[in-house]
Amino acid sequence: MCGIVGYTGYRKVIEVLFNGLTNLEYRGYDSAGIAVRDENEIKIYKSLGKLINLKNEVERCKSQIKNPTSGIGHIRWATHGSPSLINAHPHTCSCGKLAVVHNGIIENYKALREELIQQGCVFRSQTDTETIAHLVALEYSKVKDLEEAVRNSVKRLQGAYAICVMHKDVPDVIVGARKHAPMLIGVGEGENFIASDTPAVIEYTKKTIYLEDNEIALVTKNNVKITDINGNIVNKKVEVLPWEPVALSKLGYKHFMLKEIHEQPDVIRNVLNGKLYDIDEAIKLNEVKIDKEKLKDLNKIEIIACGTSLNAALVGKYLIEDFAGISVEVEASSEYIYRKTTTNSSTLVIGVSQSGETADTITAIKQAKEKKSHVLIITNRPDSNMARLADSLIPLNAGIEVSVAATKSYSAQLISFYLLAIYLAEIKNSLNKEYLKNLKHELIQLPTKMEEILSNTSNIQECARKFSSYKNFIYIARGINLSSAYEGALKLKEISYINATGYPAGELKHGPIAMLDETMPVLSILIPGGICYEKILSNSEEAKARNAKLIALTSSEDENIKNLFDFVIKIPSISEILSPALTCVPLQLLAYYIAEFLGKDVDQPRNLAKSVTVE
């Protein structure tokens, strides 16, 4: 979604803004803009579409730009008002002396807009953000102090915001404020940064200060002052980012998605590291801050998540119920928040999110906290808003994920659920010792099996080539791989815009079979030894009888598979219970190669954002 970067210091301001915005590009956007302070003026440049258009616009106007000393930049993902030049940020007040960029949604903007129009403000855009520009400018004209003007103004805003404000009469000062939307300061020497997310600053500094809700930051090149909503100074900790700038490089891969798919074996080693190292030892999960005696009596878990994280949650449910016998409900955050749930103080609520910033999940977690549930967060961003709400926090340690389509964070979420489910089973003594040992042994082997798949992807590329012209797919599976079918289909939809649906294989004949013919391939996930292996074979036969082209994703050595299926994607042999952690890889690759073959924008698919910070 939207991204913000601000800079004041000795470097080339426009270059810093563009680098910061480029590193936020992966979040998805439809327009972009910058405001720079240059020769005692605020100059604003905007463009529609990708950053390259903004660069061209700045290049076109370069004779007007002399020596900017500070600036703010923004990429916009339209919420209020269509993607257009006029709606792109930065926005200004009536006289153009002030510039503001904003992430989030101002819920009471209509009422504020009416009031500001009454006071003579001239609105140009349809955005909620423009009200902030007029509001702060009016306040500034009264109090003549930008920080105070921002403080007074944000007190009137309802909704979510991370904002950066500059004013012509306050040279090289950027004032930032936040509520329910992330914002951080990048601390430098003789320079400082402000941004909505760490990738925007990581090229320049690893030192960061995270703003909390209702805090205001006054940033100059030599100073950062943080105050609360009442103007009291807040002493903040400077944290050091765990990432290197190289995390934002493709390292020779054509796309971030492909790089991130290939990182998965190491990601899994990372997740297991320190938690599972010996098959005779119990899983160590010190991150779970619930007394073990209490865990023994735990009888209800709710998992809340969206998108890919929701698919990982379904595997989590299967595992926890299978291993520990604890009843688990999984629900999309956006559904959870608008109904009467039975969540209470004895429910363990697990929030799963790659970004830790997904608005629906944050709202759901807050509701669970109000009901006094213990909240366990599984996220790739221990620096996120969601992580800050956690009573227990399991960081994924997958490294920054740039591609909008989640891949390595999904496999890290799966492995976290395997560890959690085994941990609960060991506390409850609900699994046979031999079974546990085998399971742990297989988990340790998993990265090597993934590497086997990744070392030769030519067969998957061939499958992608053969099937890339089809407009509809059905992915079928049963049991624990049903979520693999959902996730595989989601990946294909997201990056190739092909209609793909994950379906329980047994449900095919209850409706979807009506759609089957030679134009709709069916991909079946078949793990030999699995409870429903034979049944899925029969379901595939039923599809074949309707002339559907069949693809098998399987570890089976059975020669008959080759006769039944039009294409076979092989994976190394694996037990059914662990197979989702392996089947995800070829499904990600299949989606990737189809999209790549069709020439799609793999890393930044249309209409999608990496972290969905609005409900």
Catalytic residues: 2, 610
Residue 363 lies near ligand AGP (rule: CB under 6 A): no
Among 307, 488, 530, 580, binds ligand AGP (CB under 6 A): 307
Residue 308 lies near ligand AGP (rule: CB under 6 A): yes
The CA–CA distances, whole Å, from 565 to 412, 464, 568, 594 equal 31, 15, 7, 19
Q: Where does this chain touch ligand AGP (CB under 6 A) — which range of 12-20, 54-62, 350-358, 451-459?
A: 350-358
Q: Give start and end residues of each alpha helix (H) in 273-306.
A: 292-297
Residue 520's contacts (CB-CB under 8 Å, 6 or more residues apart) are: 470, 472, 473, 474, 548
Q: How far is the CB of 312 from ligand AGP (least distance, A)?
A: 9
Give the H/E segment covering residue 475: strand 472-477
Residue 154 lies near ligand AGP (rule: CB under 6 A): no
Instruction: Give the CA count within 13 Å in the CB-facing half-sphere of 271.
Output: 32
Residue 588 lies near ligand AGP (rule: CB under 6 A): no
Q: Give me the residue whose beta carbon is nearest to ligand AGP.
A: 307
Task: Give the span between the Cα atoms of 209 and 234, in whole angstroms.
Answer: 11
Q: How far is the CB of 602 from ligand AGP (least distance, A)?
A: 12
Residue 47 lies near ligand AGP (rule: CB under 6 A): no
Which one, 30 or 38, has the nearer CB to ligand AGP? 30
Q: How far is the CB of 184 from ligand AGP (least distance, A)?
A: 18
Which one, 91 or 259, has the nearer CB to ligand AGP? 259
Q: How far is the CB of 494 from ligand AGP (least distance, A)?
A: 5
Residue 16 lies near ligand AGP (rule: CB under 6 A): no
Is there a contact between 99 and 166 (Cβ–Cβ < 8 Å)?
A: yes
Residue 302 lies near ligand AGP (rule: CB under 6 A): no
Task: Give the span between the Cα atoms of 331 and 357, in whole angstroms.
Answer: 17
Measured in degrees and rounded to the nearest 5, phi and psi for residue 531 equal -60, -35
Residue 70 lies near ligand AGP (rule: CB under 6 A): no
Residue 264 lies near ligand AGP (rule: CB under 6 A): no
Is there a contact between 31 and 83 (Cβ–Cβ < 8 Å)?
A: yes
Q: Which two tokens stand for residue 524?
A: 């079946």
Among 162, 183, 298, 404, binds ligand AGP (CB under 6 A): 404
Residue 309 lies near ligand AGP (rule: CB under 6 A): yes
Which one, 306 or 587, has the nearer CB to ligand AGP? 306
DSSP strand pairing (161-167 vs 98-103): antiparallel
The alpha carbon dihedral of 12, 16, 19, 21 has a sign of: negative
Q: Where does this chain touch ligand AGP (CB under 6 A) — which range of 39-47, 323-331, 353-361, 474-482?
A: 353-361
Residue 142's contacts (CB-CB under 8 Å, 6 or more residues apart) are: 149
Q: Where does this chain touch ligand AGP (CB under 6 A) — which range of 10-18, 261-269, 300-308, 443-451?
A: 300-308
Is there a contact between 502 and 490 (Cβ–Cβ < 8 Å)?
A: yes
Residue 111's contacts (CB-CB under 8 Å, 6 or more residues apart) are: none
Is there a contact between 383 and 237 (Cβ–Cβ < 8 Å)?
A: no
Please state the separation of Cα 115 from the chain's center in Å: 37
Question: Which residue, 184, 186, 150, is CA-closest to 166?
Answer: 150
Q: Where does this chain touch ligand AGP (CB under 6 A) — which range of 74-82, 94-102, 404-412, 449-457?
A: 404-412
Question: Which residue, 440, 136, 390, 406, is CA-closest to 275?
Answer: 440
Q: Would you tell me the crossing angle of helices 408-428 and 580-597 to the nearest 10 degrees?
A: 170
Q: Where does this chain touch ligand AGP (CB under 6 A) — which range of 31-39, 178-186, 234-242, 355-363?
A: 355-363
Considering only residues 480 through 509, tell me which ones interact with ligand AGP, judged by CB under 6 A. Answer: 494
Q: Where does this chain touch ligand AGP (CB under 6 A) — which range of 92-100, 254-262, 317-325, 403-411?
A: 403-411
Q: How far is the CB of 30 from ligand AGP (least distance, A)?
A: 16
Q: Which two tokens stand for residue 307?
A: 């998108």
The pattern of x and - marking residues 533 through 572 that bind ligand AGP according to CB under 6 A reads ----------------------------------------
Which one, 205 or 361, has the nearer CB to ligand AGP? 361
Number of residues this chain uses to bind ligand AGP (CB under 6 A): 16
Q: How far is the CB of 361 from ligand AGP (least distance, A)?
A: 5
Q: How far is the CB of 181 from ligand AGP (least distance, A)?
A: 14
Cα dihedral 385, 387, 391, 396 in deg (nearest 10): 160
Which one, 71 or 586, has the nearer CB to ligand AGP? 586
In order, the DSSP letters of 70-104 are EEEEEEE--SSS-S-TTTSSPEE-TTS-EEEEEES
Among 228, 608, 614, 615, binds ligand AGP (CB under 6 A): 608
Residue 306 lies near ligand AGP (rule: CB under 6 A): yes
Q: How far is the CB of 180 from ligand AGP (least distance, A)?
A: 15
Give the H/E segment covering residue 476: strand 472-477
Q: How far is the CB of 25 from ligand AGP (least distance, A)?
A: 15
Footprint of ligand AGP (CB under 6 A): 306-309, 353-355, 358, 361, 404-406, 494, 608, 611-612
